[in-house]
A and B are shown apart, each in its own frame.
Chain A
Amino acid sequence: MTDDTSLILMVGLPFAGSVLAAILPTHARNAAAGLAGAVALICIAIAAFLYPTVAHHGAVTSNIEWIPSLGLNFTLRMDGFAWLFAMLVSSIALLVVLYARYYMSPEDPVPRFFSFFLAFMGSMLGIVLSGNLILLVVFWEMTSIFSFLLIGYWHHNAGARDGARMALTITGIGGLGLLVGVLLMGHIVGSYDLDRVLSSGELIRSHPLYVPTLCLVLLGALTKSAQFPFHFWLPNAMAAPTPVSAFLHSATMVKAGVFLMARFWPVLAGTEEWFWIVGLAGMSSFLLGSYFAIFQQDIKGLLAYSTISHLGLITMLLSLGSSLGAVAAIFHMMNHATFKASLFMAAGIIDHETGTRDMRKLSGLFRFMPFTATLAMVASAAMAGVPLLNGFLSKEMFFAETIETHVNSILDTAAPYAAFLGSAFAVAYSLRFIHSTFFGPPPTDLPHEPHEPPFWMRFPILLLVLTCLVVGILPGYTIGPYLHTAVVSVLGAATPEYSLAIWHGFNLPLIMSLGALVCGVIFFYCLKTYLATSEEGPPYFRRLQGQRIFERVMASISWRWARFLEANLGTRRLQPQLRLLVVVALIAATWPIWAQGLDWRPPTLAGADPVFVALWVIAIVCAVSAAWQAKFHRLVALMLLGVSGLVTCITFLWLSAPDLAVTQLLVEVVTTVLILLGLRWLPKRSPEIAPDSIPLVAKLRRYRDLALAIAVGAGSTLVAYAIMTRTQPATIGDYFLDKAYSEGGGKNVVNVILVDFRAFDTFGEITVLGVVALTVFALLRRFRPAPDSVESPEQQRIQNAHDDAQPDRKVGDTISDYLLVPALIMQWLFPVIIVFAAYLFVRGHDLPGGGFAAGIAMAAAFILQYMAAGTIWVEDRLRVLPVRWIGLGLLLAALVGAGSWVFGYPFLTSHSQYVELPLIGAVPAASATLFDFGVFSLVLGATSLMLIALAHQSIRRLRTTRAAATAEEETA
C-alpha cells in the first residue's frame, strides 16, 4: 500500500462504513458497533503506518484532479500537525465507539447512530487532512451537517431538535463566512493549494483584503469552537447522546475551530487585528466559560461551559502570536481532548446508572461506584491543572506565556490576571463536579439504584485517564516526539526551544498555579451551600441567555421580516408576475441595443413574393383577432389560431424546411383536437355578462398592457429583421451538411442531426415528452369538473329532447347520426393514415419525415377514430395502450444507445449500412433507424395518452351516473 492510497483510504473508509452501517437492520447494535470500531482501528493503523514518513520527510500528499480548471483538486496532505489530529480523532473515535456500544439502549436505532458517527468522523479526518482550501471547507460543512444529525439523534426530544438546529445555524453561518474567507485567500495567493497558501504568509498579511479575509476565516473558526459571542450553541448541544458529546466536544467539532486557527497561524497571526479579535474572543470565553461552569446544575452543562473555557484558553494562546504560545496551544488541544472525553463519558455513566445529571439530586456516589469515581476524580484534577497530570503542564506553559509581554496593550497587561482568575474558577468547578456527585450523604430519591457500569464501559475512561497520568508524569518520553513533529510542521523554521519537563524551578508560573489551586478551593467552599440549592446558571447572568437572544433574532428574520417582505414586495397574483418578467426581458434586450446601436439595413419589400405577403397579411389579421376574441369566443379564437399556425407551416415549406412543415401541420391537427376536447370543461362566458362600462383603472391597465405588447412585438421584429438581413457567419451547420451522408448514412440532414449527431439531445427531449404525458395522465385521473360543466353539453340535451319527443326515435339516435358521413370517412381513413405514418417513418432518414412526424400522424389516426365513433365504440374494438408505447420507445432508444458500448463506442454512436432485401433492393439500415423507431413509439404513446386521457373525461361522467343508477336499483 502506497502512502497516498492509504491517505485516501483513511478519509474514504469512514464514509464507506457509514453507508454500510446505514443499511444494517435497525437493531443490529453489535454489528454496527463492530463495524465502526473496525473502521476506527484501521484508521489508527494507517496513521501509525504513515508516522515514519511524516516524521522524516515532512508531509505525505495524495492528489487527484477534480476540477483543475477551477484550481480545485482532491488533495490530501498529512503533515505532523495533521497526523497528531488524525491520530487523536481516530483513537478517541475508537474509545467512544466502545463506550457507545454499552451506552446506547437496544431500543434505539443504533446503526443509524453509528452511520452518522462514522460520517462525522470521516468529515473530521477530511478537515484535518485536506490539502486544498475548498476541499477543507467542503469537509467543514459536512461536519456541521453530521453534527446536526448527531445532536438531533433523539429527534423525538424537542430539546435535541432545537439544540441541533441552533448548532447547525451558528456553525453553518460560520461555514459560509469561512468559504468566502478561503475564496479571498485563494484570490490573494492565486492558488487554493494549502502548501502554497502556507508559504504566502507575508503576501496575505500585507494585502489590502487581509482584514476581511481574517474576519471571515475567524467567523468560521470561532463559531465552530463555540467562542464568545457564539458560545451558546454548545450547552444546548448537550441534548445529544453522551457519546456524541464526548466525541464532538472533546476531540472533534469544537477542535476543528482551533485546528483551523493553528493551521493558518503562520499565515494570519502576528498582526494587531489578529491579536485583538482572537485575544478578546479567547479571553472572554475563558473567563465567562469557567465562571458560568461553576453555577451549572447539570453535569453535562458544567462540562460544556468548561469546554468553552478551555477552548478560550487555547484561543488566547494562539492570539499572542508567539511561537511558544502556539506550542502550548497545540499541546493543550491534545490534553483537553483526553481529559474532557473521559469526563463526558463519566458523566454519561452517572446519567446512565442513576437516571439524572442534576447535581442537586446527586450525592455520595463514591460508595456505589468507587472505580468510576476515582477515574473521574483524576480526570477532573487534570482539568483543574493539578501537578503530575497533563493539564498541569499545558496550563503552566499558558501562565508562562501570559506573563510575557507580546503586544503592548491593555489586553496583554490584563492577560496574566485573567489567566489566574480563570484557572481559579476552573479549580472551583472541577471541585464542584467531584464534590457534589461523589461525596456527601447517600443520595435520596434517584430514578435508579446506582451501581458500577459494565467493565467495557469504564475501560475507555481508564485508558484516557492513564494517558493523562502518563503524559503528565513523563511528558518527554510519551507525547514529546509526536508533539515536536506537529509543532515543526506548523511553525517550521520558527520552532522555538521548549521543554516539557514537570519541574521548571520555583518560578512565577508555579506560584500562579498553586495560588489558583488555593483560591479555587476557597472560592468553592464559600459557594458550597449556595450551589447546593441554587437555580441553574450564574447569578445576575441568568437572565441574559444567548439562546433567548438567538431565538428572538431567528424569529425576526425568518418570520417577521419574511412576512413583511412578502406582504410588501411579493404578490400571489400571476398577472403582475408575468408583467414583471416581460418588462425585465424587454429591458435586458433593449439595453445592449441602446448602448451599442443596431447595424441594420433600411427595410425593403423588394424580392418579396406577393403570395407570401398576402399569406402573412392573413396570418397577422388572424393572430390579432385571436388575441382579441380569446375571451368571449373561444372556438373562433382557436380557429384563428389555427390559421396562423397554417401560415407558419406554409412559411416553413416555402423557406426550405419541409420537415418542419410536416411536423407543424400534424401538431396543428392534434393541438386543435386537444383544445377542442378541453373547451367543454370551461365556464360559459359571453359579452353580455360583462358590465357595460369599464372602470377607468381597468382601461388604463389595458392601455399599459397594449403598449407593452406592442413594444415587445416591435422589438422582436427589429431584432429578427436585423439578424435576417446580415450575412450568416460560418456555422457548424456546414459540418453536418458535409458529414450527414458520409458519417450518418442519411440524406435528410435534419433527421440525421436528430437521430444521430445530436441523438442524446433528442433522447432527453423524448424523455421530457414522456414525463409530460404521464403528468397529464396523472392529473386527469383525479380530475373533478366544476359543477356547472358536469351536465351534458347543451347541444346534446337539445338533441336528446328532440329524440324523446319523436315516438319513432330512441334517445341518443341523433347524436349517433350526427356528422355521419364525415365519421364514416374518418373510419375509412384509419388504414390510410397508418400507411401514411409508416411511409413518413421509413423515408425519414433520406427524405422529409421521420419518427416525430410519423408518431404524431399515427396518434392522429387513433384520435380520429375516437372522434368519429366515440370513445366507447373504439375501446370495444381497439386497445391503444399508450403507456406501453411510451415505455417501449424510451427503452428502445436507451438500448440502441447503450448498444454502442458493446462495440466500444460512446453512448448513442450510430452505425449505418445498406442491406440487400429480396424484391426491394438496397435499403438503408442504420442503427439510428432503430433509435428513430424509439422516438416514433414514444411520440405516438405520449400524444395518444394525452388525447385519450382527455377524451375519457366525457365518458367518466356517464360511467359514474350509470354506476350510481345500478347501485340505486340494487338497493331498491
Chain B
Amino acid sequence: MELVLSIGIGVLIGSGVWLLFRPRTYQLIIGLSLIAYGVNLFIFSMGRLKVAAPPVLTSSAAVNPADYADPIPQALVLTAIVIGFATTALFLVVLLVSRGLTGSDHVDGREPS
C-alpha cells in the first residue's frame, strides 16, 4: 500500500516537473496540475494510511483517536484542492491573455529565436 502510493506520488511529481521545464504554457498548466495531485497526496499521506477509518465520529461518547484517520492533513488538503482549482483557473486565464497579447504560447511570451 505505502510503496504503491509513494511510487504514484513520485511519478505524478516527476511528470509534473518534466512538464515544468517545457516551453509551452499548456504543458505548464498540465504539469502544475500533476504536481498538485502529487503534493496533495503527499500531504495527505503524512497522516499515515488507514483503511475504513474515516474521521467521522460514530457515537457521541469519548473517542479513541487510534480508530480514526488523522483529520488534520485531510483538512489541509481539502482547502488545498479548492485553492489549487483557483490557481489553475488564474493561470489558465493569464495563459490565454498572454497568448492574446503576444500572439505566442511560449512561456516567455515570444518564440525562441
Which A residues lie at the B interface, using CB under 8 A? 572-575, 578-579, 582, 603-605, 607-609, 612-613, 616, 619-620, 623-624, 626-627, 630-631, 634, 637-638, 641, 644-645, 647-648, 651-652, 654-660, 663-664, 667, 670-671, 674-675, 678, 681-683, 685, 705-706, 708-710, 712-718, 720-721, 723-725, 728, 731-734, 736-738, 740-741, 747-750, 753-754, 758, 761-762, 765, 768-769, 772-773, 775-776, 779-780, 782-787, 789, 846-848, 852, 856, 939, 942-943, 946, 950
The answer to whether A716 touches B5 (Cβ under 8 A) is no
The answer to whether A678 touches B95 (Cβ under 8 A) is yes
Known: A720-B9, A731-B70, A848-B56. 4 other contacts (CB 8 A): A612-B4, A626-B34, A627-B16, A630-B30
A contact residues around B10 at 8 Å (CB): 713-718, 720
Q: Which residue of B lies closest to A846 (CB)?
A: B56
A contact residues around B9 at 8 Å (CB): 716-717, 720
The answer to whether A754 touches B75 (Cβ under 8 A) is yes
B contact residues around A741 at 8 Å (CB): 57, 60, 63
A contact residues around B74 at 8 Å (CB): 657, 659-660, 750
* A667 CA to B75 CA, complexed, in Å: 16
B contact residues around A630 at 8 Å (CB): 19, 22, 24, 26-27, 30-31
- Looking at the complex, which one of A709, A725, A728, A758 makes contact with B47 (CB distance below 8 Å)? A728
A contact residues around B13 at 8 Å (CB): 712-713, 716
* A852 CA to B10 CA, complexed, in Å: 28
B contact residues around A724 at 8 Å (CB): 2, 5-6, 45, 48-49
**Of residues 16 to 48 in B, which have CB atoms within 8 Å of A's CB atoms?**
16-24, 26-27, 29-31, 33-34, 37-38, 40-42, 44-48
The answer to whether A942 touches B86 (Cβ under 8 A) is yes
Once A750-B74, A754-B78 are accepted as A-B contacts, the answer to whether A772 and B86 lie under 8 Å apart by CB is yes
- Looking at the complex, which one of B12, B49, B75, B108 makes contact with A758 (CB distance below 8 Å)? B75
Nearest-Cβ distance from residue A55 to partner chain B, whole angstroms: 62
The answer to whether A768 touches B86 (Cβ under 8 A) is yes
The answer to whether B77 touches A716 (Cβ under 8 A) is no
B contact residues around A656 at 8 Å (CB): 50-55, 68-69
Q: Which residue of A lies closest to B20 (CB)?
A: A578
- Looking at the complex, which one of A631, A671, A705 makes contact with B85 (CB distance below 8 Å)? A671
* A300 CA to B70 CA, complexed, in Å: 74
A contact residues around B58 at 8 Å (CB): 747
The answer to whether B79 touches A765 (Cβ under 8 A) is yes
The answer to whether A660 touches B78 (Cβ under 8 A) is yes
* A737 CA to B2 CA, complexed, in Å: 24
The answer to whether A713 touches B17 (Cβ under 8 A) is yes
Nearest-Cβ distance from residue B88 to partner chain A, whole angstroms: 6
Q: Which residue of A lies closest to B58 (CB)?
A: A747
Q: Which residue of B lies closest to A710 (CB)?
A: B14
Interface string of B65-97 (1 = CB under 8 A from A): 100111110110111011111111110111111
The answer to whether A575 touches B107 (Cβ under 8 A) is yes
Contacts A/B (CB < 8 Å), 16 sampled: A627-B34, A630-B24, A630-B31, A641-B34, A651-B41, A655-B44, A658-B56, A663-B78, A667-B85, A750-B78, A754-B75, A776-B90, A784-B100, A786-B99, A846-B56, A946-B86
- Looking at the complex, which one of B22, B50, B95 makes contact with A655 (CB distance below 8 Å)? B50
Once A713-B14, A847-B56 are accepted as A-B contacts, the answer to whether A641 and B26 lie under 8 Å apart by CB is no
* A601 CA to B82 CA, complexed, in Å: 34
B contact residues around A671 at 8 Å (CB): 33, 85, 88
B contact residues around A659 at 8 Å (CB): 74, 78
The answer to whether B45 touches A631 (Cβ under 8 A) is no
B contact residues around A631 at 8 Å (CB): 22, 24, 26-27
The answer to whether A607 touches B1 (Cβ under 8 A) is yes
- Looking at the complex, which one of A609, A613, A627, A634 makes contact with B18 (CB distance below 8 Å)? A627
Q: Which residue of B lies closest to A788 (CB)?
A: B103
A contact residues around B45 at 8 Å (CB): 720, 723-724
* A712 CA to B97 CA, complexed, in Å: 31
Q: Which residue of A lies closest to B70 (CB)?
A: A733
The answer to whether A627 touches B99 (Cβ under 8 A) is no
The answer to whether B86 touches A682 (Cβ under 8 A) is no
Once A624-B15, A942-B86 are accepted as A-B contacts, the answer to whether A786 and B37 lie under 8 Å apart by CB is no
Across the A-B interface, give the 4 residue pairs with the lowest CB-CB distance, nearest first.
Answer: A713-B14, A717-B10, A709-B18, A721-B6
The answer to whether A578 touches B78 (Cβ under 8 A) is no
* A605 CA to B56 CA, complexed, in Å: 29
* A664 CA to B82 CA, complexed, in Å: 8
* A789 CA to B29 CA, complexed, in Å: 20
A contact residues around B70 at 8 Å (CB): 728, 731, 733
A contact residues around B100 at 8 Å (CB): 681, 783-786, 789
B contact residues around A750 at 8 Å (CB): 55, 71, 74-75, 78
Nearest-Cβ distance from residue B10 to partner chain A, whole angstroms: 3
Once A616-B5, A634-B26, A786-B99 are accepted as A-B contacts, the answer to whether A728 and B48 lie under 8 Å apart by CB is yes
Nearest-Cβ distance from residue A259 to partner chain B, whole angstroms: 52
Give the residue among A579, A648, A785 with the most B Cβ atoms within 10 A: A648
B contact residues around A736 at 8 Å (CB): 71-72
The answer to whether A709 touches B27 (Cβ under 8 A) is no
* A634 CA to B62 CA, complexed, in Å: 52
Nearest-Cβ distance from residue B109 to partner chain A, whole angstroms: 9
The answer to whether A731 touches B72 (Cβ under 8 A) is yes
Give the residue among A658, A675, A950 with the most B Cβ atoms within 10 A: A675
B contact residues around A605 at 8 Å (CB): 3-4
Once A620-B8, A667-B82, A720-B9 are accepted as A-B contacts, the answer to whether A737 and B26 lie under 8 Å apart by CB is no
- Looking at the complex, which one of A579, A648, A710 makes contact with B21 (CB distance below 8 Å)? A579
Once A733-B70, A762-B79 are accepted as A-B contacts, the answer to whether A681 and B96 lie under 8 Å apart by CB is yes
Once A637-B30, A671-B33 are accepted as A-B contacts, the answer to whether A780 and B93 lie under 8 Å apart by CB is yes
The answer to whether A753 touches B72 (Cβ under 8 A) is yes
B contact residues around A789 at 8 Å (CB): 99-100
* A946 CA to B88 CA, complexed, in Å: 11
The answer to whether B85 touches A670 (Cβ under 8 A) is yes
Nearest-Cβ distance from residue A650 to partner chain B, whole angstroms: 11
Nearest-Cβ distance from residue A521 to partner chain B, whole angstroms: 73
A contact residues around B4 at 8 Å (CB): 605, 608, 612-613, 616
B contact residues around A946 at 8 Å (CB): 86, 89, 93
The answer to whether B55 touches A737 (Cβ under 8 A) is yes
Nearest-Cβ distance from residue A121 to partner chain B, whole angstroms: 47
Nearest-Cβ distance from residue B96 to partner chain A, whole angstroms: 5
Nearest-Cβ distance from residue A778 to partner chain B, whole angstroms: 10
Nearest-Cβ distance from residue B90 to partner chain A, whole angstroms: 5
B contact residues around A675 at 8 Å (CB): 29, 88, 92
Q: Which residue of A lies closest to B21 (CB)?
A: A705
B contact residues around A582 at 8 Å (CB): 17, 20-21
The answer to whether B62 touches A738 (Cβ under 8 A) is yes
Q: Which residue of A lies closest to B66 (CB)?
A: A734
The answer to whether A776 touches B89 (Cβ under 8 A) is yes
The answer to whether B7 touches A717 (Cβ under 8 A) is yes
The answer to whether B2 touches A725 (Cβ under 8 A) is yes
The answer to whether A749 touches B108 (Cβ under 8 A) is no
